[in-house]
Structure 1
Amino acid sequence: MSPRKLLNLGLVCWTCIYVHTSQAVKVGNIMTQSNFYQTLEPTGEYMFQLDGDEMFHVDLQTKETRWKLPEFGRISTFDTAGALQNIGILKFNLNNYEKRSNYTKAKSVARDDIQVFTEMPVVLGEPVTLVCLATQFFPPVIKMSWLKNNEPVTVGVTDTVYYPAPDGSFSKFLYLAIIPQKGDVYTCSVEHDGLSMNPTNKFWLPELPQHISETSDNILCGIGLAYGIFGIVAGIVLICKGKKTTN
């Protein structure tokens, strides 16, 4: 990471633990610890991942451990005080870097391709979760929000922390629990200084499978029946001819 990014972002700590089985084919699991402190909002993050999936993060405001799946919290514990101490050290080091360095603000970058999709296939009137994904942006400062028919939506909205990538960029998910109805239009609005168009809006509306009309059904059934009858008649004719040839 360049010194410019280092000064703006703080320090990023990576710890990778490789666990291999004793089988002939080696299977590796990677546990990643990611923590940073920066002068922007949010000021920092402390998070653990296993094979790229979040296990837990520490809420620096409430000073509590937030497990991605509640089941993890019932079988394991984590020392939140240690995480807060690490963040305090990063803050101290960043303050020293600022005092001793003639730094400039890091360049903001972001990928314009915002993705919106659902977790499950859509059925009108059935609950489903809408997902908005922003990737490859830096620094980890982004605003993501939902609109329904151009009106802001706040109920049923959840999000993730910032997920780091090996290239130094970040990604973030924003979720919305919805009951899709015909004619509804949902918008994920993303704001980041690195976007070529700020904000960037990504639209989504229910796309249902095209159903064949009743008339088309009748035509297809009629064609199938005709082919069936033709096959039966042809079979009878061939049997009769076969008998005559034998005689």
Structure 2
Amino acid sequence: MLTPDSQRPIRIICTVLLVLPLLAVQAQTVDHVLSQVLFCQPNTSVPGLLKMFDNDQMFSYNFSKRTTSAWLPDFDQWSDQAFPNAANISAYLSLCDNLREALTEVLKEIMPEARGGTQTMVFTAQPLRIGMPNTLICFISDVYPPALTVIWRKNSELLSKESTSPGYFALYDGSFQAFSYLNVTPNYNDVYSCNVQVAGDSRTIVEYWVPDYPVPSDVLENALCGLGCALGIVFLFLGFMFLCLSKKLQQTDYTD
């Protein structure tokens, strides 16, 4: 007969045997979140509707054109299934506007406005080659609210201005990321800048980009190749001359 003291190790072993499979199953489980994010802003006519998988955007809905676009071309075949009911989308937008107005009125002078610490970064889509077409990408992070004005400048001259960035990403913390693109042909001494203004904020965030450590262009590669060949021919000619002179000196010594 088993006493309570003798049964205790058996209970512990049984408990461990039951818990280990659960831990193994839990370790193999990866949680993913498929979410639909709707945002609407005051003083702007561009609301947004996104379908996200974790922090990656899959689809976005254009309210003015009433069209759905996929972030990746591979998802185009499912675009018509992302937001199938246009009537519900209009209802969502009305709900968003009503909820925003109601919460604004209730929380006025109670909760401070969330602005975030917007940060920007500019980089090229392709390795930099002087004189070759490329695309500058202005990455804007920690945006809240996501109503933006992005201005591109080259050597202080205005190039383009867009009231909203073409791609928003909704993150778990309620903030957004955005991207703005500019097609360029960079040359030395060019200075580009991405100027970002967030709605409700009087500041302008400026991020500069200048060509730095480029991959040699085709012209430079050809020039270096030609210079190397020319130097090779010169050194070959000099070597041949020294060889002839040395032979002549040897013949003179034998004659003497």
TM-score of the aligned structures, taking structure 2 as reference length: 0.62
Q: Could you tell me the percent identity over the aligned residues? A: 26
In structure 2, the partner of 1:17 is none
Q: Structure 1: any 5+ residue segments left out of the alignment?
A: 1-21, 219-247
1:50 aligned onto 2:53: yes
Distance 1:161 1:66 in 2: 11
The number of residue pairs the alignment matches comes to 193
Matched ranges for 1:1-247 at <5 A = 25-42=28-45, 44-77=47-80, 78-79=83-84, 81=86, 82-97=88-103, 101=106, 103-104=108-109, 106-111=112-117, 113-154=119-160, 159-192=165-198, 198-209=203-214
Letter of the structure 2 residue corresponding to residue 170 of structure 1? F
Residues 80 and 172 (structure 1 numbering): CA distance in 2 closer, same or farther, change over 3 Å? Answer: farther
Residue 184 of structure 1: how far off its partner (Å): 1.3
Q: Which of structure 1's runs of 4+ aligned residues deviate more than 6 A?
A: none
Residues 102 and 177 (structure 1 numbering): CA distance in 2 closer, same or farther, change over 3 Å? Answer: closer
Distance 2:114 2:102 in 1: 23
More helix per residue: 1 or 2? Answer: 2
Residue 32 of structure 1: how far off its partner (Å): 2.2
User: Rg bigger for which structure?
Assistant: 2
Residue 131 of structure 1: how far off its partner (Å): 0.9
TM-score of the aligned structures, taking structure 1 as reference length: 0.64
**CA offsets 1:21-51 (integer angstroms, 9 cap, x no match):** x9x9444543221112332425521101223
Q: Structure 2: any 5+ residue segments left out of the alignment?
A: 1-24, 217-223, 232-256
Residues 142 and 83 (structure 1 numbering): CA distance in 2 closer, same or farther, change over 3 Å? Answer: same
In structure 1, the partner of 2:238 is none
Contact 1:42-1:141 at 8 Å conserved across structures: no
Distance 1:50 1:106 in 2: 30
Distance 1:71 1:60 in 2: 23
